Amino acid sequence: MSDTPDSRLATLGITLPVPAVPVANYVSWTRSGSLIVISGQLPLKDGKLLATGKLGGAVTEETGALAAKYCMIGLIAQLKSAVGDLGKVRKVQRLGGFISCTPDFTNHAAVMNGASDFSVAVFGDAGRHARSTVGVPSLPLDAPVEVEGLFEVD
């Protein structure tokens, strides 16, 4: 098997889920030319939130990083539904991470590394990206992490 994003996912034991459907008046992704913007994804595993709560509270950094990884899996599932073939991804341009946390929590970057590291594991050097990571007081459904993305495709 050639070295492709799909083969890397298989090697990592990851089967992409059916992309989550928007729950309000927005779309999962938009495309303008070669750029695809994907709406924020929550950390879903088997259709349910991987964890709930806040970093610095009930959610550990390890669980937060795993949640960020599952957000990235959701982004990749949306991306595949948008382009059909992950081999068309030229570059992960940007990831934006929202970390639900207590006011004294300051290790946002370590949590967001779960998404960033997985991006590189799947897309190789094309998975290296710019990013922002911010702490927020709450997220939908009490999710600990939400990640959005900007991708360049053929």
Chain-centre distance for alpha carbon 61: 16
Q: Do 31 and 82 form a contact (C-beta atoms < 8 A)?
A: yes
pLDDT of the residue at 49: 97
Extract the tokens encoding 150. 């900007």
User: What distance in Å separates the CA atoms of residue 18 and residue 130, rounded to the nearest whole number?
Assistant: 27
Between CA 40 and CA 44 the distance in angstroms is 12
* pLDDT (tens digit per residue) in 56-107: 999 999 999 999 999 999 999 999 999 999 999 999 999 999 999 999 999 9
Kind and range of the H or E element at 111?
Answer: helix 108-123
Give pLDDT, residue 65: 98
User: What pLDDT does residue 106 have?
Assistant: 97
pLDDT score of 2: 78
The pLDDT value recorded for residue 142 is 98
pLDDT of the residue at 46: 94
The number of residues making up the chain comes to 154
Residue 7: the pLDDT is: 96
Separation between Cα atoms, residue 24 and residue 8, nearest integer Å:
33
- Based on C-alpha coordinates, what's the Rg of the chain? 15
Section 27-33 average pLDDT: 98
Q: Assign a CATH topology to domain 5-153.
A: 60s Ribosomal Protein L30; Chain: A; (3.30.1330)
pLDDT at 21: 92
